[in-house]
Amino acid sequence: MSKNTKPSSSNKKQPAAVVLGVQHITALNTVWSLAQMNLPMIGVTSQPQSPYARTKKCKMVNCPDVNSDALIETLIELGKSFDEKAVLFPCSDAQVGVVSEKRDLLAPYYHFHLPSQEVVRTLMYKANFANYAQTNGYPIPRTAVIDRATNPKACLSEWKFPCLLKPDNKTANWTQHTRGTKVLRIRNEDQLLKTIDQVLQWVDRLVIQEWIPGGDSNVYFCLMYFDDSSEPRATFVGRKIRQWLPEIGSTASAERHFNSTVLEESLRLFKAVRYKGLGSVEFKLDPEDRRFKITEPTVGRPNLQSYVAVANGINIPYVAYCNLIGKSVTLLDQPDRDVAVKWVNEWREYHSALFYLQQGRLSLKDWIRSLRGPRTYALFSLSDPLPFLLTLTRLSYKEMRKFLLSFVRLVFRAIKPRRW
């Protein structure tokens, strides 16, 4: 592979970067990544009152719905105002889906890299990816696909529990009914059959996967960017420290943790499909057979914890920006890199740590030790304080009181464990 090349921070006559969905942390952290390089930026949001949309790092444009075809109308209208093509950064699966389907309409106004529509559908939809992975020999947990025509009892005989139930694609209906939960953990067959019957009223297809034992820190990820020739221009390998919800949720804290198997398997998967653009692959290390098993790829966008790579010196959104405007920049993770900055998603980390502390699976001392060293945060930034401060003001009195009481109890328990 080519050697790492140091990017330039000059913004002289630079095209604008347009970041979609700046009402979520993924988009906010993408804005921060690009702001480090002093790029002209525009954020697009459908929730202008969101604390994240109040960032001072970019101009904001409102869109009725950033996850629907309304986004295309907004982007075309915005694109007409540019003197030259802007660089587009979708930050959710729904945005990637819309941009991919309407790529021909957006191409006159924006630079963006996406794999073919067929590859987007193969990797983004969990049922399609399970079929592709099983056919081509990629390591994934045991998986079954269920739809309304399937007899669950017939295909789930001898299934081990617990197991995970996932939507084929995370739709608005799924999010509404599960309050944003990524997956459902199922304890036994009776619960599984009842849940399938209920959930198939919201979504068309479900994926059932075997549960891989092990804690949050067994979850690894490889963040990447591939150029137009399907060559990796940026790679970063890390692992989660904690998740919220515990063991099945989104990243609460993460760190750099290089692993050659995770890197090699991620590159093998993406190069095989002639991948282009931003993407990542998540794995879980199975403690029983010591194999890394792919739990999901992410297509065409940054991941929630992508800022951990930026904090560790690999600014993947900026590498993508440079390559899209014709500047050749490469930043590849190496096993001997000595940078080690942790990324903390403040509220998710608090809830996750509180859960483990109350369960007796984590001590206050071990919690502090796990986050020791240089850190960066999902929301807190001295150079852009409003997203964090406004998030605080939106906490209700009840939530704030619960937070403070829980913290005091935990400290007291750590100091006086016998009396507590």
Q: Which of 319, 351, 347 is nearest to 333 (CA)?
A: 319
3-state SS class at 299: strand
Q: In what order do the strands lie in the sheet with 184-186?
A: 143-147, 205-210, 163-167, 184-186
Alpha helix (H) ranges present in 325-396? 346-359, 364-370, 386-393
Q: Which residue has better confidence, 65 or 170?
A: 65
- 70 vs 156: which has the higher pLDDT: 70
Q: Do domains 14-112 and 142-210 have the same CATH topology?
A: no
Distance CA 93, CA 237 (A): 21
- In whole angstroms, what is the distance from residue 264 CA to residue 78 CA? 39
87 - beta bridge partners? Answer: 17, 111
Measured CA to CA, the distance from residue 28 to residue 44 in angstroms comes to 11
Tokens of 286: 């199975």
Secondary structure (3-state) at 164:
strand
Q: What is the mean pLDDT of residues 232-256?
A: 97
For 386-416, write each residue's pLDDT tens digit.
999 999 888 776 677 776 777 676 666 655 5
Quick one: tokens of 202? 């919201």
Distance in angstroms (rounded) separating the CA atoms of residues 346 and 51:
14
Which CATH topology does 14-112 take? Rossmann fold (3.40.50)
Class level of CATH domain 142-210:
alpha beta
In the chain, domain spans = 14-112, 142-210, 214-382, 385-420
Question: Which of the four pLDDT bands, split at 50, 70 and 90, describes residue 96?
Answer: very high
The position carrying tokens 């995970």 is 164
Structure confidence at residue 411 (pLDDT): 61
Average pLDDT score, the chain = 92
Q: Which CATH architecture has domain 214-382?
A: 2-Layer Sandwich (3.30)
Structure confidence at residue 153 (pLDDT): 82
> Rounded to the nearest 10 degrees, what angle do helices 93-101 and 117-124 cross at?
160
pLDDT score, position 419: 38
Determine contact, residues 332/232, Cβ cutoff 8 Å.
yes
pLDDT at 187: 94
pLDDT tens figures, 347-364: 999 999 999 998 999 998
